[in-house]
Amino acid sequence: MSGGRTSGGELGRRTVVGVALIAVALLALYGGGWALWLLGAIAGMAMLIEWAALAGASRAHRQLALYALVVPLAIMSPWAAGPDGFALGLVGAAAVFVAGVTRSSRLALGIAYVGVPIFALLFIRALPAGLLLAFWTLALVWATDIGAYFAGRAIGGPKLLPAVSPSKTWAGLIGGMAAALATGLAFHQWGGLDLGLALASPILAVLAQIGDLYESALKRVAGVKDSGTLLPGHGGVMDRLDGVVTVAPAVALLLAAGVVQ
C-alpha cells in the first residue's frame, strides 16, 4: 500500500469507515445465503458505476451495462441457480452483449471485473467450510492492505511501480506478504484452515497488490485520484475491493482444483 503521508484526521476517518466496512462484511459472511449475495450485488453495482465513469462511458451505455449485470447477479442469488457454472457463463454472456452493443471493450471488461469476484466469493461461501474459507479470503486481503500501509510508511525505500502508483514501495509489498502469511497461519492454528492454503497466503497477497496496482493504473489513465467518493477516507468501492477482485477468483480456483479436501 501507500508509503505516503496521511494526516491524523484522514487516518481516523479511514479507520472508522474501515472498521464499519469490515463489520458489515463479517455480518454478511456469517449470514451467508441472501445476506452475502445482497451485499455483493450492491457492491457490484456500485463498482460498475465507478468502472463506467473511469472508462468514460455515456449515461446510456452505463445504464445498459448495469441492466446487463443484473441478470447474472440475479441468477447467483440463493433463490435462483446460485453460484454455479450457468451463473458464471451469464457473466461472460453479459460482457459479450455489452461489448457488441456499445462497441466498448473497456466497458464490457467491467462486467467481468465485477461479476467474477462476486461469483467467486459466493462460490467459496457455499462450500462446506465456506464461512472459514471466505473469512480467510477477505482477512488476508485486509491484512495485506494493513501490513503494506504501515511497512511502506515506516520503512519507505524503493518504489514498487512508480509509473503507476508513486506511493507504493517494495517494503510495503513485503510487509503485506508477511501480514498475509501471519493471518493464514493464524487461521490454520486456530481455525483449522488447510496448511497449503495458509502457506499460499503470501502469494495471494501479491495478487492483492496486483489488483491494487491495476486499479491505480485505471485511475491514472482516467486522471482521477479515487474511483469514487462513496466511502469517506477510502474513495470509492473499487478502491476498497481492488484486492478482493484478484484474490477471490484465485482462491475459488484453488478450492475447485482440490487444494482442500
**196 shares a domain with 109:** no
The mean pLDDT value of the chain amounts to 91
> 118-148 b/e with 16+ CB inside 10 Å = b?
bbbbbbbbbeeebebbbbbbbbbbbbbbbbb
**135 shares a domain with 120:** no
Helix (H) or strand (E) holding 161, with range, is strand 159-161
**249 shares a domain with 173:** yes
**188 shares a domain with 97:** no
Report, as an integer, the average pLDDT of 177-201.
Answer: 96
**194 shares a domain with 83:** no
Is a pLDDT exceeding 70 seen at residue 40?
yes
The domain in which residue 115 lies consists of 34-126
**142 shares a domain with 95:** no
The grid coordinates listed for 202 are 503470501
- Start-to-end CA distance of the chain, whole Å, equals 34
3-state secondary structure of 171: helix
Residue where a domain terminates, one of 126, 153, 173:
126
Residue where a domain terminates, one of 126, 147, 162:
126
**158 shares a domain with 46:** no
- CA atoms of 204 and 2, how far apart (whole Å): 18
Nearest to 125 by CA among 242, 35, 243, 42: 35
pLDDT at 11: 66
Residue where a domain terminates, one of 105, 126, 147:
126
pLDDT at 258: 83
Q: Structurally, how many domains does the chain consist of?
A: 2
Report, as an integer, the average pLDDT of 28-55.
Answer: 94
Model pTM?
0.92
- CA atoms of 16 and 72, how far apart (whole Å): 33
**95 shares a domain with 199:** no
**191 shares a domain with 108:** no
**98 shares a domain with 19:** no
Report, as an integer, the average pLDDT of 182-207.
Answer: 96
3-state secondary structure of 167: strand
Lowest-confidence segment of 38-52, 96-110, 225-239 by average pLDDT: 225-239
**183 shares a domain with 196:** yes
Half-sphere exposure in the Cβ direction for 95 (13 Å, CA)? 18
pLDDT at 114: 97
pLDDT at 260: 57
